[in-house]
Structure 1
Amino acid sequence: MNTTINRLPTQQQHRHHPPSSHLPLSDAQHAVRAARHHANKVLTAWGIPSAVIDDAVVVISELVTNAALHTHNGPAELHLLVEDRQLVIAVTDTCADSIEHTVPREDSADDHGRGLAIVRALACAFGCHRVAGGKRVWAQMELQAQTA
């Protein structure tokens, strides 16, 4: 079951630091490609199952694309974190507007607006909250690949 939550999960105190990664995305023209490449490399190095990586790369593509489109090509950042057997993907951008949690109608001819529906389908939770200078949109994914 997918849920929408309006805050990023809090990090618990660990004896060791959980795996995390940060990638500034200042070149909006190449941001999606850079984010996908970075995520694939980092998640593979962390030993994340390939099926989870495949879904995560799709989620990252959608979130970074939205950031690039809605911030007028302003800077964005990709954050990856593993905590409590889940992958947390967060994209921070400079637009303070919240995301819309609506899914386009199936009979809609609109080419845009389906990204969050894809994120909702692949993530076990996602949300958006304001941060200094903009917003952070995040998604949580189970580290165990889902079986059909």
Structure 2
Amino acid sequence: MEAHHIRIPVSGTPAGATSARQEIAEGIRAWATSLEPELLDAAELVTSELITNAVRHAHDGPITAGVDLDGQALRIAVIDTSADIPEIALPDDDAEDGRGLFLVAALSDRYGFDPLPSGKCCWAEFEFSASLRTVATHLPLQRS
């Protein structure tokens, strides 16, 4: 089975985050046209939250966003240079932000972070149901 990958640099600006989110979402949709729309929508939202958090909290240094599709799972990962440990929090009802990791946890099958020598990798995974695995393993490679 051929795996699919996207890795892109993310500019540490709101415009860079928007561009990266769109490129990742387009890649996922191009690979996974036979997957459930709910999974695709959730993957796009999780991608948006992880990239936005990196841009907001990793002020200096490079940011890289990526997605891997291997027929069993879709894994979204964002690497940044901040050593700050992400924490899930529930903000006050009237707060305008602070719900990102809560959404990531609620929508993905697994999520977490891995410390790196110069920062961290925040990730989320979506498993495919057994009926969708056959479709995912036969998708044509769009990008690498």
Please, what TM-score do these two structures have when normalized by structure 2? Answer: 0.77
Between structures 1 and 2, the one with greater helix share: 2
Query: Which of 85, 89, 95 is matched with 1:103 structurally?
Result: 89
Instruction: State the alpha-carbon separation in 1 of the partners of residues 111 and 2 from structure 2.
Output: 23
Structure 2 CA distance for partners of 1:41 and 1:134, relative to 1, 3 Å: same
Q: Percent identity?
A: 33
- Contact (CA 8 Å) 2:21, 2:51: kept in 1 or not? no
1:96 Cα offset (Å) = 1.0
Would you say 1:87 and 2:61 are equivalent positions? no
Give the unaligned 5+ runs of structure 1.
Answer: 1-15
> How far is 1:108 from its partner?
4.3
Offset from partner CA, 1:35-86 (integer Å, 9 cap, x none): 2211222112212423322111100111111101101264211110123511
**Matches of residues 4-83 of structure 1 in structure 2 within 5 Å?**
16-48=1-33, 49=35, 50-72=37-59, 74-83=61-70
Paired position in structure 1 for 2:97: 112
Output the aligned Cα RMSD: 2.0
CA contact (8 A) 2:2 2:70 kept: no
d(CA) in 2 for partners of 1:87 and 1:30?
A: 25
SS for the counterpart of 1:77 is strand
Determine the C-alpha separation between the residues in 1 that align with 2:32 and 2:97.
34
CA contact (8 A) 1:88 1:138 kept: yes
- Count of aligned pairs between the two proteins: 127
